[in-house]
Amino acid sequence: MDTAGSQIILSIRDVTKSFPGVRALNGVSIDVRRGMVHGVVGENGAGKSTLMKILSGVYKKDTGTIVFDGKTIDHTTPYESMHRGLAIIYQELNLVNSMSVGENIFLGRFKEMKGMRGTHAKARELLDSIGCKVSTTKLVSELSVSTKQMVEISKALSFQSKLIIMDEPSTSLTGEEMSLLVKIIHQLKAQGISIIYISHKLEEIFDFCDVVTVMRDGNVIDTKPRGEFTRDELITKMVGRTIENEYPERSRQVGETLMEVKGINTRKLHDVSFTLRKGEILGLVGLVGAGRTETVRAIFGADRVRGHKVTIGGKPVTIHNPKQAKDAGLGLIPEDRKLQGLVLPFSVEQNISMASIDRFTRFGFLIKSLEKGIGARHVKSLGIKTPNTKVAIKNLSGGNQQKCIVGRWMEIGPSIFIMDEPTKGIDVGAKYEIYLLMKEIAEKGGAVILISSELPEVLNMSNRVLTIYDGRITGEFDPEHIPADVIMRAALGLGGAS
């Protein structure tokens, strides 16, 4: 390797980690050199985040050795790793929203900073050093995602970090914000700081990473200097199979208009209107917080909305709560499975039957045999892996839990199925089955609204894509014919055909 000249700052050897039922890391070895930007790519579930959490001390590794800056690290805590000079910037940012920028940078170090004045003065210096102008007394809750990242980077610098791990930092950045981040990365590199840059966006990897490691299913597939990778090679190694069989063939039976939504206005949404056709999978693309989830929640009656109009099959419907949505033929797989989808202490059967209680109720009484049938039917048809239907749902894996929620709605047979991040945190096989289900619903004359943070998923599944930026619909695209970067530009609010 041509990078062999510089010194190794972090050496990971044969690290394994298992969670109940899943082997998340399978003998992973990576070397990171001083002053390099080391890209780590892989699909969701490849083990990137698990590895980083082990490095920072959130998880404990099962076996293997980690040597950082010449010292073997066996057991660590996030606090210790930060003090050693290993900082990590997570996707879900690690800041206290109700506190000021300055105090967040020096969280837990009030005494070292000699009080409030020292805290803010030192914070100012750090922010200035990366060209961030935000006031140190501003509350973090008032900042944009990009500024929050700057605060995190300043926090990392405050520990004299030798290695900064950035976990998918670009997910919620606009183009301009991204170029600022790249500038800072180059600046850090020049100071001899190493960076592990986790991403699944190949452009970024080829843009500024020096070395690239590809991970898949808990294994390191390859580590090479960027120049030695071709784009195709990287993709093949990432997915481990040809792209074609990752998604089923697009359904092509789009018919007449099924639902029409007009003028959704809330504090976050501005005049959102669109139509949905029979047999269609409609993708909503946008950054986290752009209004994707808010839009579907508004349609589903989960949040309060003023003066919008919804017609289904030509007839106007009133939806003020999820019950009315359900009666109008809508179904929802919520964004957060655990908090919004599952009733954890309850059984698989009761979780599946909970939307369709009316169907096994006679004169107010539950008919248990009918309920049992509903549970058993969906466990079978969806291939849910569970010892029996009376097991508490908390004992199932993420994919199987998600299938239970799908089954919950399949029993109702909604004509419009809203899926908000339906494949988040579930394994590849289960994902494909959920894709097939979506297609089946569409082909039976229903329609699906799909939200996903994984752009390829939306682009490959949808017949039509709407981009949302800052609470407004910024474009409508045919993903089969319009290149992904045009769609992404619209989703980033950079203008586009509409």
Partner 1 sequence: MNNLYRLFTQQKAIVAIAVILLVMVAAGGDVSRIFFSSYNLLDMLNSSTILVILGLGVTLTVIAGGCDLSIGGILVVSGILSIQLQNFMPMPLALVLAVLFGTLVGFFNGFLVVQQKTEPFIITLGVGLLLTGVAQQLSDAHPVPANNPDFMNISNGYQFGDGQFTEGHFPGIPNLVIIMLICFVFFAWLIRYTSFGRNLYAIGGDYDVARYSGINVVANKWMTLVISGTMAALGGVLLSSKLNTGSAIYGDFTALVVNCGVVVGGTSFAGGVGGIWQSVLGLLLFGLLDNAMNVLNIPSWYQMMLKGTVIVAILWMDSYTQKRKRELV
Partner 2 sequence: MNKVGFILKDYLVLLMILGLALVTAIIQPKFISPANLNNIMRQFGPLILVALGMTFVIVGGFIDLSVAGTINLVAVVTITLIDPLGQVGALIAGLVIGSICGAINAGLILTSGATTQAEALFITFGMSTVYSSLALIYSGGSTFHFWDLKEMPNMFEAIGAGSVGPLSVSFVIFLGALALLWIFHTKMAAGRAISLTGGNKTAARLSGVPIERSIVLIYTIAGFMAALGAIVLFSRVTTASPVIGAGFETNAILAVVVGGTTLKGGKGSVLRTVMGVLLVILLNNCLNLLGVSSYMQWAARGAILVFAIWLDNRKEVQGNQL
Asked if residue 419 lies in contact with residue 450, where contact means CB atoms within 8 angstroms, the answer is yes
Q: Using CB distances below 5 to 8 A depending on partner kind, what does residue 167 bind out of partner 1, partner 2, none?
A: none
∠ Cα 94 98 104 (to 5°): 50
In the complex, what is the shortest distance from the CB of residue 342 to partner 2, in angstroms, rounded to a whole number?
6
Residue among 309, 323, 380, 390 that touches partner 2 (CB under 8 A): 323
Q: Using CB distances below 5 to 8 A depending on partner kind, what does residue 115 bind out of partner 2, partner 1, none?
A: partner 1
Within positions 439 to 458, which residues make up the interface with partner 1, using CB under 8 A? Answer: none
Q: Which is nearer to partner 2, 320 or 444 (CB)?
A: 320
Residue among 133, 304, 315, 481 that touches partner 1 (CB under 8 A): 304
Residue among 339, 369, 387, 485 that touches partner 2 (CB under 8 A): 339
Asked if residue 303 lies in contact with residue 389, where contact means CB atoms within 8 angstroms, the answer is no
User: Does 5 contact partner 1 by CB under 8 A?
Assistant: no
Residue among 70, 71, 74, 98 that touches partner 1 (CB under 8 A): 98
User: Does 332 contact partner 2 by CB under 8 A?
Assistant: yes
Q: Of 110-118, 319-327, 386-394, 429-437, which segment contacts partner 1 by CB under 8 A?
A: 110-118
Asked if residue 85 lies in contact with residue 161, where contact means CB atoms within 8 angstroms, the answer is yes
User: Does 96 contact partner 1 by CB under 8 A?
Assistant: yes
* Per-residue H/E/C for 323-391: HHHHHCCEEEECCCHHHHHCCCCCEHHHHHHCCCHHHHEECCEECHHHHHHHHHHHHHHCCCCCCCCCC
Contacts of 486 (CB under 8 A, 6+ apart): 477, 496, 497
Size of site (CB under 8 A) for partner 2: 30
Q: Using CB distances below 5 to 8 A depending on partner kind, what does residue 268 bind out of partner 1, partner 2, none?
A: partner 1
User: Does 388 contact partner 2 by CB under 8 A?
Assistant: no
Size of site (CB under 8 A) for partner 1: 29
Convert residues 341-380 into a mask of x (bound to partner 2 by CB under 8 A) and - (unbound).
Answer: xxxxxx---x---xx-xx--x--xxx--------------
| Cross-strand bridge partners of residue 163 | 86, 194
Q: Of 186-194, 211-219, 242-250, 260-268, which segment contacts partner 1 by CB under 8 A?
A: 260-268
Q: Using CB distances below 5 to 8 A depending on partner kind, what does residue 189 bind out of partner 1, partner 2, none?
A: none
User: Does 95 contact partner 1 by CB under 8 A?
Assistant: yes
Q: Which two tokens stand for residue 19?
A: 């969670």
User: Does 273 contact partner 1 by CB under 8 A?
Assistant: no
Q: Using CB distances below 5 to 8 A depending on partner kind, what does residue 325 bind out of partner 2, partner 1, none?
A: partner 2
Binding site for partner 1 (CB under 8 A): 58, 77-80, 82-83, 94-99, 103, 107-111, 115-116, 266-268, 294, 303-306
Binding site for partner 2 (CB under 8 A): 300, 302, 321-323, 325-327, 332, 334, 339-346, 350, 354-355, 357-358, 361, 364-366, 394-395, 408
